[in-house]
Structure 1
Amino acid sequence: MDTNIMQTVYKALEASTAEIEKNLAERDSLEEKIKSGRYSPQTVQKEFHPKRDALNQQIKADSEKAIQAAKSLVEKYRADAEKLDNLNPAELTDDIKLFQTGIPLLPRDIQAILERNSGNRTMTQLALRYAKEHGIEMVGINYIGGEAERQTANSLDEIIRYYSRWIDKRNAKDVLRRFFNVE
């Protein structure tokens, strides 16, 4: 799983934006030629307008492709994050034996298991399930699983949605840096 999805999405959008900027510069140069009055109406009509229109279509297509690629990165991250909440037999510790012995566990026993297995999603889920199934109230302790990952993915969705309105503008790189808090 991509642990720094923010940076991955930023880099992908930055690279796409750089490519789009080249076409923007070329299109702007054509616009200046069209407005300059130095070229015949036939040249403007037959050469510059078709080139400009083709560049506009390319900019639009590249922008949509870049935004879709960024969305795909976030969707893959979201799917990978969901899998983190699946129980993993490789994460089982000897504490699993305490759930199987038939010996009644106390809240402090569950608390100790949770502390020993801090950061272990499998054991945390199993300890809290055991507590719930046996009516052991664990005050103030909840398993929120991949909440941080969900929030990151949701934040990226919003950034991408906003950036899709800027990606084809001349100041797109500055806006991208601001959205991702990059100096």
Structure 2
Amino acid sequence: MEIAQKVYEALKADTLGIAQIVGDLDEVEGAISSGKYTTKHIEIEWMPKRDRLRSQLADAKEATLSKIRKIVDDYKQEQEAALVLDPAALTDDYKLLVSGIELTERDLCAILDRSGNNLTMQQMTHRYAKQHNVQLPKERAFMGDSEAAESVGFANGLYDIASRYTSRYMVRTDGLKMLDKFFLVEG
């Protein structure tokens, strides 16, 4: 699942999860401002409830941001790990890459096909292509350092969006609609 989808789903689930607290807080604040109760009754009965509910909301927001931070950090680690070569992942195709035989685009594409999810072999194949000026099809592109930096920046941007959402919109009655706007979800 893509990181944006993971962040969106986590925010949506947590927004739905705090709906009861938000409703209870609205009810308590309505009672406080209704004028039906004496100041003493409000101080004894309603203020402690309001403070408890506000504390629960603050804790829920903090837990949401911690969850989003973990999603983002895990994603960033995955992106960085993809660029680290693993000698244990070298296959027999590596022998072709270092043999001195001039490999063609077709040869390299065949190696990539055999590599599957082996990021080390994919990276080695792309390095060979770059060093020997072999043009691979665009759909065979491999994420390099600049793309990794870009994806990490994107992940950090998602955390910033989540932070703004939780601080301003998560507890609003239209919070889910705002979440959809933040993530450009139509529906």
Question: Normalising by the residue count of structure 2, what TM-score does the alignment of the two structures yield?
Answer: 0.74
User: What's the counterpart of residue 112 of structure 1?
Assistant: 106
Distance in 2 (CA, whole Å) between partners of 1:60 and 1:39 is 27
**AA aligned opposite 1:171:** D
Moved more, 58-67 or 118-127: 118-127
1:57-76 correspondence to structure 2 within 5 Å: 57-76=55-74
The question of whether the paired residues in 2 share the 8 Å contact of 1:17 and 1:173 is answered with yes
CA distance in 2, matches of 1:50, 1:64: 21
- Report the CA distance shift for 1:5/1:144 in structure 2 as closer, same or farther (over 3 A): closer
Counterparts in 2 of 1:114 and 1:163: CA distance versus 1, 3 Å: farther
Q: Is the Cα contact below 8 Å between 1:20 and 1:63 reproduced in 2?
A: no
Name 1:162's counterpart in structure 2. 164
Which of these residues, 71, 85, 88, is aligned with residue 87 of structure 1?
A: 85
1:115-126 aligned within 5 A: 115-116=109-110, 117=112, 121-126=119-124
Please give the alpha-carbon distance, in whole angstroms, between the structure 2 residues aligned to 1:58 and 1:28. Answer: 14
Q: Which residue of 2 aligns with 1:144?
A: 143
- Structure 2 unaligned spans of 5+: none
Q: Distance in 2 between matches of 1:84 and 1:110?
A: 25
Query: Which residue is equivalent to 1:35?
Result: 33
Distance (Å, rounded) in 1 between the aligned partners of 2:13 and 2:101:
58
Deviation at 1:75, TM superposition (A): 1.0
Say if 1:89 and 1:113 are closer, same or farther in 2 by CA, change over 3 A. farther
Matches within 5 A, 1:7-22: 7-22=5-20
Whether contact under 8 Å (1:60, 1:168) holds in the other structure is no
Contact kept in structure 2, 1:92 and 1:122, CA below 8 Å: yes
Q: 1:51 aligns with which of 43, 49, 52?
A: 49
Q: Which moved more, 1:166-175 or 1:151-160?
A: 151-160
Give the TM-score normalised by structure 1. Answer: 0.76
Amino acid at match of 1:173: L
Question: Counterparts of 1:152 and 1:110 in 2: how far apart (Å)?
Answer: 35
Compute the displacement of 1:156 (Å). Answer: 2.2
Structure 1 position 87, deviation (Å):
3.1
Alignment RMSD:
3.0
What displacement does 1:57 show?
1.7
In the alignment, the residues of structure 2 paired with residue 155 and residue 138 of structure 1 have an alpha-carbon distance, to the nearest angstrom, of: 35
Higher helix share: 2
Count of residues in correspondence between the two structures: 175
C-alpha distance in 2, partners of 1:126/1:8? 30
Quick one: which amino acid aligns to residue 137 of structure 1?
N
Q: Matches of 1:7 and 1:23 in 2, distance apart?
A: 25
Q: For the residues of structure 2 that align with 1:154 and 1:139, how far apart are their CA atoms?
A: 32
